[in-house]
């Protein structure tokens, strides 16, 4: 993928093409917490009122945040355990914990399904952290078995894969693929009762036993996937439509369950599709400043296909920050005659950039608006279709409403019916000021390669572990082993970074290469 010279000015980049889980056929109740904020998973998904989803956080595409003792911060699945009572199954997840129990007889519950009713006893299971006699441990329970524990210091401040497996009358607990516990579990009679699965808290005791940290990739599979030590697979792609490739984004609302629309798209294998009654939004508190441009240069662009025109006299808002108030909002829209427009307003006046001609239904177009100083340009497929030169000093986007895709921002209305792909918002740079050729591939994520050759102290080419970290926050961006023959390595990085070459033989100190700029190095 090519470099983007304006990557540091890019504030949002949405490809909308995340792939569905290729193992979906084997997952009886796929509960992927990554996108549970906007899509119901299974038959009874519930979150607490202050549940938080983060996108592109802690080095992964998405996760949920939990806080011990916060009764509003939970995820619960109801009516999901009946099919687990007598069958083999696997429960697994990636967790990122910031603490473990610090006092005896206290606990941190990662997930649990537990009721005191005898009707539900065969469905009991759980994975918790505990502390006994000053020693930390992990504990597991399956069906009607007693809690089993093993002393273990759980890794903190890193992503850890955990798994709990029922195979016949044998239960197993794994951490990062290491088998920690093997224990006997009862087969149990058939049980028609249903139970609640709690994620990040216990389902029958106080929320104080919840975890502090993050959870992602929660999967319930109706087979015993792991029966011996294994290497956890890299997390799979996710079937949610919006991954902001640029930064952390908290998405807080969706009108209907959107998954990547793969029957049609511009690039990459998928896009967002809106049916005239659905929308996507992101909270102002998390990231509103990214699309508030002030008086500076900016560029807003996307590929758009309109599938149905709004009713006569009405408009469809494609995406933007737009409310029925004078608040410096902006958005792309379409009217009932299929004339696209870019709308923006100050605290007193509406401005419209509208081309002379209408567009066609069911046709992909590249829309772009670019501001450079006093000039504002509206491009369709690289051609200037409208412009004005009187915007010097005007504030664009100093709004208090969220960004919305598919409808007006503040209240339901101005619904859009169609497809949106390859959304990119750039703050501080006018990408287009004259006619241009529209992008012919996905917008780049400024993916460059940190590469080199590793030699030992004698100058011999060798294999060593190389890791690349963000200089901004220390997050690991990638790792690779150098080739044992050629000594070469290459790791993708999209920001200023540093590389660490680790001598796993223990003979030498690590080598640190600092201040690597991916645009010039």
Give 405-426 pLDDT, tens digit per residue. Answer: 898 887 778 899 999 999 999 9
In a domain, 13, yes or no: no
CATH of the domain at 117: 2.60.120.200
Question: Would the CA dihedral through 152, 157, 158, 161 be positive or negative?
Answer: positive
Under 8 Å CB-to-CB from 432, ≥6 apart: which residues? 299, 368, 370, 377, 379, 382
pLDDT digits (tens, 9 = 90+) for 271-320: 888 888 888 877 554 346 777 888 999 999 999 999 999 999 899 999 99
Residue 373 confidence (pLDDT): 95
Q: Judge whether residue 353 has pLDDT over 80.
A: yes
Residue 465 confidence (pLDDT): 84
- Contact assessment for residue 91 and residue 128, using Cβ atoms and an 8 Å cutoff: no
Residue 57 confidence (pLDDT): 54
Q: What percent of the chain has pLDDT over 70?
A: 70
In a domain, 14, yes or no: no
In a domain, 474, yes or no: yes
Domain boundary among 427, 458, 489: 427
Q: Same domain for 41 and 155?
A: yes
Residue 381: Cβ within 10 Å count:
17
In a domain, 226, yes or no: no
Q: Same domain for 416 and 460?
A: no
CA of 324: how far to CAs of 95, 313, 328, 399, 410, in Å?
42, 16, 11, 12, 7
In a domain, 375, yes or no: yes
From CA 346, how far away is CA 397, in angstroms rounded?
9
Q: Same domain for 131 and 83?
A: yes
In a domain, 36, yes or no: yes
Nearest to 131 by CA among 152, 145, 117: 152
Which range of 107-121, 158-172, 425-439, 472-486 scores highest in mean pLDDT? It is: 425-439
Residue 196 confidence (pLDDT): 67
Nearest to 144 by CA among 161, 111, 176, 122: 122
- If 0-12 CB within 10 Å is exposed, 13-18 middle and 19+ buried, where does residue 134 land? exposed
Residue 60 confidence (pLDDT): 57
Number of compact structural domains in the chain = 3
pLDDT digits (tens, 9 = 90+) for 48-91: 555 555 555 555 555 667 777 666 666 666 544 444 556 788 88
CATH of the domain at 464: 2.60.40
Average pLDDT, whole number, for the chain?
Answer: 76
Lowest mean pLDDT among 15-29, 33-47, 194-208, 389-403: 33-47
Q: Same domain for 183 and 303?
A: no
Nearest to 23 by CA among 95, 90, 77: 90
Q: Same domain for 419 and 454?
A: no
Q: Same domain for 255 and 123?
A: no
Q: Same domain for 358 and 486?
A: no
Q: Same domain for 56 and 152?
A: yes
Domain of 488, in residue numbers: 448-516
In a domain, 510, yes or no: yes
Q: How many alpha carbons fall within 13 Å on the CB side of residue 511?
A: 14
Residue 290 confidence (pLDDT): 78
Helix (H, G, I), strand (E, B) or coil at 393: coil
CA of 206: how far to CAs of 107, 128, 130, 201, in Å?
11, 14, 15, 8
> How many residues are recorded in the chain?
521
Q: Same domain for 422 and 453?
A: no
From CA 127, how far away is CA 363, in angstroms rounded?
51
DSSP letter assigned to residue 236: P
Q: Same domain for 137 and 260?
A: no
In a domain, 6, yes or no: no
Q: Same domain for 193 and 129?
A: yes
Residue 115 confidence (pLDDT): 56
Confidence of residue 502 (pLDDT cuts 50, 70, 90): confident
Instruction: Take residue 201 and report the two structure tokens written for it.
Output: 């808290």
pLDDT digits (tens, 9 = 90+) for 9-62: 787 777 766 543 333 332 222 333 333 322 323 334 455 555 555 555 555 555
- If 0-12 CB within 10 Å is exposed, 13-18 middle and 19+ buried, where does residue 440 land? exposed
Q: Same domain for 33 and 73?
A: yes
Task: Indicate the pTM of the whole model.
Answer: 0.59
- Contact assessment for residue 244 and residue 46, using Cβ atoms and an 8 Å cutoff: no
């Amino acid at each position: 993928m090519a470099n983007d010279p304006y990557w540091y000015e890019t504030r949002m980049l949405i490809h909308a093409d995340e792939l569905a889980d290729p193992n979906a056929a084997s997952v009886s109740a796929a509960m992927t917490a990554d996108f549970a904020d906007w899509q119901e998973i299974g038959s009874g998904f519930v979150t607490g009122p202050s549940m938080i989803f983060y996108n592109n956080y802690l080095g992964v595409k998405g996760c949920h945040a939990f806080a011990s003792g916060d009764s509003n911060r939970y995820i619960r699945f109801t009516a999901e355990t009946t099919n687990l009572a007598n069958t083999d199954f696997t429960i697994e997840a990636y967790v990122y914990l910031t603490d473990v129990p610090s006092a005896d007889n206290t606990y941190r519950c990662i997930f649990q399904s537990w009721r005191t009713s005898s009707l539900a006893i065969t469905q009991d299971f759980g994975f918790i952290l505990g502390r006994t006699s000053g020693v930390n441990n992990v504990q597991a329970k399956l069906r009607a078995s007693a809690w089993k524990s093993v002393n273990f210091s759980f890794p903190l401040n890193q992503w850890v894969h955990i798994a709990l497996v029922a195979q016949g009358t044998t239960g197993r607990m794994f951490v990062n693929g290491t088998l920690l516990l093997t224990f006997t579990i009862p087969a149990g009679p058939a049980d028609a009762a249903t139970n609640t699965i709690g994620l990040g808290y216990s389902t029958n005791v106080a929320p104080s036993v919840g975890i502090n940290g993050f959870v992602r990739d929660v999967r319930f599979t109706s087979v015993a996937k792991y029966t011996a030590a294994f290497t956890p697979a890299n997390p799979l792609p996710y079937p949610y439509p919006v991954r902001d490739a640029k930064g952390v984004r908290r998405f807080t609302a969706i009108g209907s369950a959107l998954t990547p629309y793969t029957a049609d798209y511009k690039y990459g294998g998928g896009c967002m599709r809106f049916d005239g009654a659905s929308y996507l939004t992101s909270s102002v508190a998390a990231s509103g400043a990214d699309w508030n441009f002030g008086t500076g240069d900016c560029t807003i662009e996307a590929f758009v296909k309109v599938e149905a025109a709004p009713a006569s006299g009405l408009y469809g808002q494609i995406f933007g920050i737009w409310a029925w108030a004078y608040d410096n909002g902006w958005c792309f829209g379409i009217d009932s005659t299929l004339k696209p427009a870019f709308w923006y307003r100050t605290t007193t006046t509406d401005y419209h950039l509208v081309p002379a001609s209408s567009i066609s239904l069911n046709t992909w177009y590249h829309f772009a608006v670019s501001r450079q100083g006093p000039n504002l340009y509206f491009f369709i497929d690289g051609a200037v279709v409208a412009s004005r030169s009187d915007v010097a000093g005007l504030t664009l986007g100093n709004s208090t409403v969220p960004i919305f895709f598919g409808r007006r921002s503040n209240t339901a209305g101005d619904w859009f019916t169609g497809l949106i792909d390859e959304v990119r918002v750039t703050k501080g740079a006018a990408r287009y000021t004259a006619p241009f050729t529209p992008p012919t591939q996905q917008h780049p994520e400024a993916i460059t390669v940190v590469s080199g050759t590793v030699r030992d102290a004698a100058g011999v080419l060798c294999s060593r572990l190389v890791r690349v970290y963000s200089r901004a926050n220390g997050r690991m961006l990638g790792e690779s082993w150098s080739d044992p023959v050629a000594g070469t390595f290459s790791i993708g990085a999209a920001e200023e970074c540093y590389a660490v070459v680790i001598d796993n033989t223990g003979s030498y100190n690590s080598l640190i290469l600092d201040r690597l700029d991916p645009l010039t190095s």
